[in-house]
Amino acid sequence: MQVDHEPVHKPLKPANTANMIVFTDLDGTLLDHETYSYAEAGGALALLRERRIPLILASSKTAAEILPLREKLGFQHCEAIVENGAGLLAPGNPDRNAATDYQQILDILSGLPNELRAGFTGFSDWSAQEVADRTGLSVQNSELAKQRYFSEPGLWSGDDQKFEAFCRQLKAKGVMVQQGGRFISLSFGGNKAGQMLELQKRYHTTDQRACSIALGDAENDIAMLEAADLGVIIPNPDHKGIPRLAGEADGSIIRAVTPGPNGWNETIQTLLANKE
């Protein structure tokens, strides 16, 4: 069910804009939910590059997916938060050794009672063609999406009661369940907010604290939005959206007026206009 929220029109004045760092979700936020295009955000992206403001991609996407996208965007010198915060990608083109988290998660899934395991299907269960059909990605990009190190996204097809049991049994094994825009994601912990706060510390200078701006469209972005100096909710008509958050009362969280990269572009351009 779609939840409609009235955009909050408040002056976009972060607490400290002198040392800005931008953290952004991808699908449905910087990237169009259907086409995965970021073309409408081109103006804001160019301004960020021009002013050397770091852009940290924070997504459910894998390191293999993020690397070429980060380079196309022109922010390969910045870190990226991958697999819903379960992992971190260093700047540049780092060597990546396969972590053991992913196989452990699959082993725990296999150990669940049949009636619970049968309710969940994930990327490990689907071919690249099936991933493409479910996400709208090309088959080639779906192959990259299947190269997972830290988490398993998927869909639940059972009833709510069994889903609660599914989550309880995974939690008992140390596996977190997070709801994203398209899929639920299973991991051993770590989220976008925690990774953001750690990265933000790296950008502090001796005389100036970095100011974090976070943008997202789905439930798995809420913690990141709430932890940032300014959180920006990007509307997404393709899912139920983010409920009203406490920070909206004082303007520490705002809502963009338009969805996807268009709303992203408008918000960042306005923030940078205030930055002068």
Give the start-to-end residue ranges of the domains of the chain. Answer: 20-94+191-274, 101-187
CB-based contacts of 175, cutoff 8 Å, min separation 6: 105, 108, 186, 187, 188
Whole-structure pTM value: 0.81
- The residue-averaged pLDDT of 152-167 equals 95
More confident residue, 4 or 69: 69
Confidence at residue 93, expressed as pLDDT on a 0 to 100 scale: 78
Q: For 108-147, write each residue's pLDDT tens digit.
A: 999 999 999 999 999 999 999 999 999 988 999 999 999 9
- Residues of the chain with pLDDT > 70: what percent? 90
State both tokens at 110. Answer: 């296999």
Superfamily of segment(s) 101-187: Putative mannosyl-3-phosphoglycerate phosphatase; domain 2 (3.30.980.20)
pLDDT confidence bin for 179, thresholds 50/70/90: confident
Query: Has residue 238 got a pLDDT over 90?
Result: no
Whole-number pLDDT of residue 1: 31
Cβ atoms 14, 268 nearer than 8 A: no
Number of Cβ within 10 Å of residue 215's Cβ equals: 25
CA atoms within 13 A on the CB side of 272: 19
180 close to 218: Cβ distance less than 8 angstroms: yes
**pLDDT of res. 97:** 54
Question: What is the pLDDT at residue 19?
Answer: 86
What does the pLDDT read at residue 11? 45
Instruction: List the Cα angle 268/273/274 in 5-degree steps.
Output: 100
Across the range 61-73, mean pLDDT stands at 94
Within 10 angstroms of residue 33's Cβ, the number of other Cβ atoms is: 20
- What pLDDT score does 190 carry? 87
Q: What is the pLDDT of residue 250?
A: 94
Question: How many other CB atoms are found less than 10 A from the CB of residue 191?
Answer: 22
CATH of 20-94+191-274, one of 1.10.3720.10, 3.40.190.10, 3.40.50.1000, 1.10.490.10: 3.40.50.1000
Q: How far apart are CA 220 and CA 194, in angstroms?
A: 12
Q: Which residues contact 92 (CB under 8 A, 6 or more apart)?
A: 76, 77
Largest alpha-carbon pair distance within the chain? 59
